[in-house]
Amino acid sequence: MDLPDNNVELLKDTSRKAVNDLMAKLGFTYTPIARDYALESRVREIVDKWDVKDLIHPYIPLGILAATVCYGYTMNKDTQAQIALFVALFLALDTPSIMESTAAVHVHKQLCSSVPNKHDVMGHFLDCTRGMSEYFLPFASTSILTSVLQFVNGCYLEQNAQEWVAQGPNPLSFIDYQRNLTGIAEAHAYFIWPKENFPELTDYVQAIPDSSDICLFQCYVNDILSYYKEELNGETGNYIDERAASTGKTTSEVLSDIVDETTVVVERIRRILGEGASREAWEVFMHGNILYHIGTPRYRLQDVIDCEYLSFES
């Protein structure tokens, strides 16, 4: 759907204010992204062996970008490659046409059984999820698996509820619930602390809960930084629009509220983590999470702010 020129300019202004406010309040400074050629080579070497490599190819740069800017501080390349593959496969499955081509309704049985996975996108995603125990503590790897199951549930919910409107005395609670299911934020949170570098779960686990803290931070940042792209593409069922409809506020007011709420969440995370390596890893992730959205054409933020996309062309 093409928006009239005046609507596009208004959308740019609204998005620009929200993005700039978010970066200013979190103390984010944009820095150009450097490519990690060793990581790229390792990931592509793995994917080139897959039957679905052509289907996954458009998402590989996004997985590599996330692993580079969010988790590139103390990890070895095997851990980073595992994360890059997970992110790429997740994003592929977040594409309705790909998810609908898989037997998503049977995923829970597949994960909980010893039956070999199919060599489709979902099969590789489940294999990747199972492999996380090599890199993360048992509690973390189990939580990553749980996050994947919730993601599949969320996609199933979206596929079977295309035309509804959240109802009841507090519709926002259901809107939040549905968004949290599909965001797979808990998995991305545990990726911050691989067991090789962070052997003590108690150093960071209290900063993770999905109703607040790191999971909520991820959801909010994605809501703000993907808003321009979603509106431009006519994706009016996004979180910002649904929250505005349920609260009677304008989208500008909702964006402003979310920026403020994100700032509060970040300060709470910092207090929980205190000082030290766990906190330093979080700060890199926080910066990288924003940089990830800015550094790819997927979110079209070059239309809104002064930034550069990372090119993966040889």
CATH number at residue 34: 1.10.600.10
Distance from C-alpha of 162 to C-alpha of 43, rounded to nearest angstrom:
35
Task: Tell whether 257 is covered by a domain.
Answer: yes
In the chain, the number of structural domains is 1
Instruction: Specify the range with the lowest mean pLDDT, choosing from 62-76, 171-185, 203-217, 296-310.
Output: 171-185
Which domain does 223 fall in, by range? 5-303
In this predicted structure, what is the pLDDT of residue 116? 60
Contacts of 11 (CB under 8 A, 6+ apart): 3, 228, 231, 232
pLDDT above 60 for 162: no
Cβ neighbours for 308, distance < 8 A, ≥ 6 positions apart: 32, 33, 295, 302
pLDDT, position 177: 76
Handedness of CA 281, 284, 290, 296 (dihedral sign): negative
Rounded to the nearest integer, the mean pLDDT of the chain is 88
Task: Report percent pLDDT > 90 for the chain.
Answer: 65
What letter does residue 2 receive in the DSSP assignment? P
Q: What is the pLDDT of residues 124-143, one digit of tens each?
A: 999 999 999 999 999 999 99
Of 165 and 112, the structure prediction assigns the larger pLDDT to 112
Q: Is the pLDDT of residue 118 over 90?
A: no
- Whether residue 148 is contained in a domain is answered as yes
295 CB neighbour count, 10 Å cutoff: 26
The answer, as to whether pTM is greater than 0.85, is yes
| For residues 203-213, average pLDDT | 82
Q: Residue 246: inside a domain, yes or no?
A: yes
Q: What is the pLDDT of residue 99?
A: 80
CB 215 within 8 A of CB 150: no
What's the pLDDT tens digit per position in 4-52?
566 899 999 999 999 999 999 999 998 889 999 999 999 999 999 999 9
pLDDT category, 96, cuts 50, 70, 90? Answer: confident
Q: What pLDDT is stored for residue 231 in this prediction?
A: 93
Does residue 309 form part of some domain? no
Whether 121 is in a domain gets the answer yes
The pLDDT score that the predictor gives to residue 2 is: 56
Residue 164 has pLDDT above 60, yes or no: no
Confidence of residue 272 (pLDDT cuts 50, 70, 90): very high
**In the prediction, which pLDDT does 161 show?**
60
More confident of the two residues 240 and 235: 240
Residue 311, domain member (yes or no)? no
Residue 145 counted as domain residue? yes
pLDDT at residue 228 in the model: 97
How far lies 279's CA from each of 214, 263, 276, in Å? 12, 16, 6
Least confident window among 21-35, 90-104, 128-142, 242-256: 90-104
Does 59 reside within a domain?
A: yes
* Band (95; pLDDT cuts 50, 70, 90): confident
